[in-house]
Structure 1
Amino acid sequence: MTATVLTAETLISRYATDLAYVAQEPPATDLAALISQLDTAAPRYEAAGINGHEDLETASSYLDEALHGTDETSRDVFLRRADELLRPLVGDMTQEYRTAAGD
């Protein structure tokens, strides 16, 4: 069985729109911008009383490691770890945030 390669572009396409809504910015187009939006969104989710913001902070750290790492294998590991944290949370957290904001 071949593992699917997870790229930064994949993560950006999965999460940029939701995080941009919470960060009140245009959607991220690169990994550095996605990290910045995660860093902005996490405390906003927390302030809104939405659970899971700690995992977003951890995912941001993983993405930063992937961005600045030089080893392709460790980069892949950090991207996958970030995705494992973000996938079950970002959509639901953003929907809860939208509901709290009255959107």
Structure 2
Amino acid sequence: MTIAPSVLASFVDDIAFVAEEQPAATPQEFVEQLGTASERLEGARINGAEDLETAATYLADAVTATGARRKHLTDQAVGYLKHTADMVGEYRLMI
């Protein structure tokens, strides 16, 4: 079992844009893209970029977790992703 795509759906396109890749099709791909996006946003000195790396860590752990622990880890990750649209919007203005 994997993380429900609907939980991550609102972030996938923005993260793919920054990672310069096609939108992630699996949670594992999304975790990889979060790492790339975090590095690029940090390089552009966008505040909060480190939150993407934190979210990636929580999601990587959630992929292998089960039950309530999976939900808790996923919820934690989503909390760190809440400013994704703002960060990506700022990044779009810079490039």
TM bin, normalised by shorter chain, reads over 0.9
Residues 36-75 of structure 1: CA deviation (Å, up to 9, x unaligned): 1001000100000101111111110000010112x21100
CA contact (8 A) 1:12 1:29 kept: no
Question: What's the RMSD between the two structures over aligned residues?
Answer: 1.0
Pair 1:95 & 2:89 matched: yes
Percent of aligned pairs sharing the same letter:
38
Checking the alignment, whether the CA contact within 8 Å between 1:50 and 1:97 is kept in structure 2 is yes
| Matched residue, 1:80 | 75
Indicate the residue corresponding to 2:29 in structure 1. Answer: 33
Aligned to 1:4: none
Out of 33, 50, 55, which is 1:59 matched to? 55
Unaligned runs of 5+ in 2: none
Q: What is the identity, as a one-letter code, of the residue corresponding to 2:94?
A: A
Task: Name 1:18's counterpart in structure 2.
Answer: 14
- Detail structure 1 runs of 4+ shifted over 3 Å in the superposition: none
Q: Taking structure 1 as the reference length, what is the TM-score of the superposition?
A: 0.86
Note if contact 1:12-1:28 (Cα within 8 Å) is conserved in structure 2.
no
- TM-score under structure 2 length normalisation: 0.92
Task: Check conservation: 1:9, 1:30, Cα contact below 8 A.
Answer: yes
Q: What does residue 48 of structure 1 align with?
A: 44
